[in-house]
Amino acid sequence: MDNQTLPQLLRQISKDYSGYAAQYSKDCEGVFHPTSYARLYQEVQAFAAALMALGIQRGDKVGLISDNRKEWFITDLALLCLGAVDVPRGCDSLAGELVYILSFADCKTVILENEQQMSKLLPHREKMPLLKTLILFDDSFDRTVYAAGLGDIVVYRFADLLQQGEPLIEKDASLIEREIDRGKPDDLATIIFTSGTTGEPKGVMLSHRNFMHQVVRVPQCITLKPGHIWLCVLPVWHSFERLIQYASLGAASALAYSKPIGKIMLADCQKIQPRWIASVPRIWEAVRAGIYRNVNSGSGLKKTLFGFFVGVGQAHEKMKNLLYGCTPQFRRRSRFLDILVSIVPYFLLLPLRILGNILVFHKIKAMLGQHFVAGISGGGAMPETVDKFFAAAGILILEGYGLTETAPVIGVRLQRHPVPETVGPPFPDMEVTVRDPETGEELRPGKQGVIYAKGDQVMLGYYKRPEETSKIIDANGRLNTGDIGIKTWKGEIKITGRQKDTIVLLGGENIEPTPIEARIRESDYIEHALVLGQDQKYLAALIVPNFEKLEAYATENAIPFLDRENLVRLPEIMTLINSEIQTRVNRRTGFRSFEMIYRCVIISKPFEMGIELSGKQDYKRHVIREMYKKEIETLFRETAE
């Protein structure tokens, strides 16, 4: 690809595929309307011209606080055309977090989704002395309400600026073209602040080269073609969704904006008929949970048939993987033996699987639309039960892996050869090694160690934090991902844990909490589970229940309760939750004795995005440990004594 920057790519695609849809956005009645690539480029140029007239120059840092929507992509591309650097964040961000980021990044201009975001900032404007200009996507804004708080800050509406920019382009058609031509691959494109799951957020500096490296390589992993539609449900400030938007641009496919809420997402699947959905694992967990709720509310025969065909599907999928060489090779395998063992069961189970598809699974597939090809899951580990369920149903989920610091994808399962239990091979032209955490020596396939990555998608560094950059990127340019994993003999990667999340018990046992938490969350009664035990004798868990299910259980079993706080303290409920945990985490399910959960505490409020959960729904472990310090202390009180 000759284009070296994202705006240069936009210009080429808008010329070659001018009539193709670039975006589908919903009106107030929920109807999707397309925007062509030709129109997108016109709007980007017009908005860029208006921003230039406001004084925004190459290298300026501009805050961009908004959720996923049509205007976000226009704004992002307009800023990149000018050589400016956007600093994105979502609407669920807390005021203190936004103020810190915008101040630290020296933002003079901030573009906001609505006045609710503005109301978060104005009480803290003294902490952002450089802030002079605000731009709102939404039209509803009454300056008189905010006059006292605004002071000398000037507020503009996005639609007004878009309109003002059009005559500037008509007057000088090459105004923005000249700026696009000035762009270089190593120009800074964005500063994405990490979600703060492990402490104070750090600003990851990503260049056009970082993104373009991936835009070129995504089509090597999936069959992405002009006209294909992506259903967008993730927060766009996060690097995974952002790459998807650029990959869509690079393939002349289209973005349809939805929400990560089951009912809305599935309804939009029917309206827009997407081929691809990029999401985090929790969305697929929620879809699976919804399916099982529906099944469990039916007759006994319905539940029996469903369970039977899920089992058949999983068994047949296992045989298919052996037959076609898609079984992960953590140790060397004989292709001849795999074929010999699998070929007869494969064909014996095939009729039953076809019957299961007719009777059960075609309805599930229809929920995602008739053109659906695959879901791309990133931003966290896919629970094994969820992965196996969708495979059994014949729904392709391609799990990927990466970090914000790698823009973000390191690897993804290949559409033509998906290997379960792995996140696929690394992207071409990227060096990924598994190394001993103590010696730094590279380990052979099948051995567990820390994953290191080197390549063109590795970040420029942390903004204003050279000392932090040097901690994560060594002198050879290798980035320490902090993730623990294994390489197969064919080069795929399996993620087994997080180096910083590793729990070390007093006995010296090293434990990865993520697989245990994923298994506990399989319970219908448990929404979240945080495993604890650093420097303790045993493991314990902080549990957030599924309150709807828990209340239904109490009602069905004539257990009286006053409110949720009272409910979670009842002995009957504690017995239920403990039973759910012990049923899933034991020797029979593959856990060792020191990985058992010996105590748990149930909290009476759900985890919230931006507080206990990051934008991609990861646990903010340090925040949770501080927020629920008293509850956690009760779990280990006997140890302390």
Determine whether 10 is exposed, middle or buried from the number of CB atoms within 10 Å of its CB (0-12, 13-18, 19+).
buried
pLDDT tens-digit profile of 129-143? Answer: 999 999 999 988 777
pLDDT tens-digit profile of 364-374? Answer: 999 999 999 99
In the prediction, which pLDDT does 607 show? 93
pLDDT at 590 over 50: yes
pLDDT tens-digit profile of 3-36? Answer: 899 999 999 999 999 999 999 999 989 999 999 9
What is the distance between the alpha carbons of residues 276 and 250, in angstroms, rounded to a whole number? 15
The count of C-alpha atoms lying within 13 angstroms of the C-alpha of 263, restricted to the half-sphere facing its C-beta, is 0
| Rg of the chain (C-alpha set) | 25
What is the distance between the alpha carbons of residues 367 and 265, in angstroms, rounded to a whole number? 10
Q: pTM for this one?
A: 0.85
CATH code, 502-640:
3.30.300.30
What average pLDDT score do residues 187-207 get? 84
DSSP, collapsed to helix, strand or coil, labels residue 370 as coil
What average pLDDT score do residues 149-165 get? 94
What is the distance between the alpha carbons of residues 349 and 309, in angstroms, rounded to a whole number? 11
pLDDT tens-digit profile of 198-235? Answer: 457 899 999 999 999 999 999 999 999 999 999 999 88
Per-residue confidence band for 616, with pLDDT thresholds at 50, 70 and 90: low
Query: May I ask the CATH class of domain 6-183?
Result: alpha beta
In the prediction, which pLDDT does 261 show? 84
In the prediction, which pLDDT does 617 show? 76
In the prediction, which pLDDT does 337 show? 97
Please give the structure tokens belonging to residue 131: 């802030």
Measured in degrees and rounded to the nearest 5, phi and psi for residue 383 equal -55, 140
What percent of the chain has a predicted confidence (pLDDT) above 90? 80
Give me the torsion for CA of 199, 201, 203, 209, rounded to 10°: 70
Mean pLDDT of the chain: 93
Asked if 247 and 99 count as a contact pair (C-beta separation under 8 A), the reply is no
The string of DSSP codes covering 125-181 is GGG-TT--EEEESSS---HHHHHHHHTT-EEEEHHHHHHHHHHHHHH-TTHHHHHHH
What is the distance between the alpha carbons of residues 424 and 402, in angstroms, rounded to a whole number? 11
pLDDT, greater one: 194 or 573: 573
Q: Distances in Å between the alpha carbon of 347 and those of 182, 224, 317, 344? A: 60, 31, 11, 5
Look at residues 481, 582, 599, 593 and name the one whose alpha carbon lies nearest to residue 530. 599
pLDDT at 639 over 70: no
What average pLDDT score do residues 174-197 get? 91
Per-residue confidence band for 557, with pLDDT thresholds at 50, 70 and 90: very high
Please give the structure tokens belonging to residue 110: 């901030």
What percent of the chain has a predicted confidence (pLDDT) above 70? 98
DSSP, collapsed to helix, strand or coil, labels residue 132 as coil
Asked if 432 and 316 count as a contact pair (C-beta separation under 8 A), the reply is no
Give, for 431, the enclosing helix (H) or strand (E): strand 431-435
In the prediction, which pLDDT does 1 show? 47
What average pLDDT score do residues 516-525 get? 93
Per-residue confidence band for 197, with pLDDT thresholds at 50, 70 and 90: very low
Domains of the chain by residue range: 6-183, 502-640
Burial letters 293-304, b for 16+ CB under 10 A, else e: eebeeeeeeeee
In the prediction, which pLDDT does 271 show? 97
pLDDT tens-digit profile of 38-68? Answer: 999 999 999 999 999 999 999 999 999 999 9
What average pLDDT score do residues 137-161 get? 86
